[in-house]
Structure 1
């Protein structure tokens, strides 16, 4: 399994810049953070986005959105999946993970959903 990504630095930066309106200084550290995160959340052309201030902000916004929405989607699906499993309804539980996989783009979240689906292979 892929190591769990560490997105706290991006979340903190995003909060300061996108929510609080602090200016973004594109240091080498910030640039590296944005490029690494873009790769982790399957955003292409991150280098091109870093060429303009608008691109940097859009990249940060999209990365944050993918992390938040993917996390919420997976967490919600897991909660309902476990309810289905408790009553023995593995078909519905599997469908939830397949639905997540149909729309999720973040590799880490996809891997977690796929793992859940594989864990149910031997169930009814």
Structure 2
């Protein structure tokens, strides 16, 4: 994952008319081809989509949707899980994260859910590191 790539995908998607085709510059092709695996799309899918402006636009929209929806889903789950954890309901906190883990396809977001699951059973007071003490 290259820093800034997702921001560039968001920006491009925001500039694209709902039914518009995507101008296929070399920079756009490279960006979408590079980002495809980051959002659980194969490079073969990207390669096929980048053959025409209308299919490239559909690819860009799908990438943007996966980034946006995954981010929202993860954020909501982390907040809800944290609130449940603070009340001492670790099982419910874990369940919230497991529901997201069951549907999330974007590898970065999957990693974030796994990290949260690894720490869900640790009480808040025990989350200090040695350097915090």
Fold agreement, TM-score > 0.5: yes
**How much does 1:37 deviate?**
1.6
Aligned partner of 1:7 in structure 2 is 6
Distance 1:4 1:88 in 2: 36
Structure 2 residue runs of 5 or longer lacking an equivalent are 124-133
Of 28, 31, 49 in structure 2, the residue corresponding to residue 30 of structure 1 is 28
**How much does 1:115 deviate?**
0.3
Aligned partner of 2:126 in structure 1 is none
CA contact (8 A) 2:94 2:117 kept: yes
2:68 counterpart of 1:82: no
**How much does 1:19 deviate?**
5.0
Q: TM-score, normalised by structure 2?
A: 0.82
CA contact (8 A) 2:77 2:100 kept: yes
Query: Which structure 2 residues correspond to residues 1-124 of structure 1 after superposition, within 5 A?
Result: 6-18=5-17, 24-44=22-42, 45-122=45-122
Q: TM-score, normalised by structure 1?
A: 0.87
Structure index of larger Rg: 2
When the two structures are aligned, how many residues end up with a matched partner? 121
Which segments of structure 1 move beyond 6 Å, counting only runs of 4 or more? 2-5
SS state at 2:105 partner: coil
Distance 2:18 2:106 in 1: 23
**How much does 1:57 deviate?**
1.1
Structure 1 residue runs of 5 or longer lacking an equivalent are none
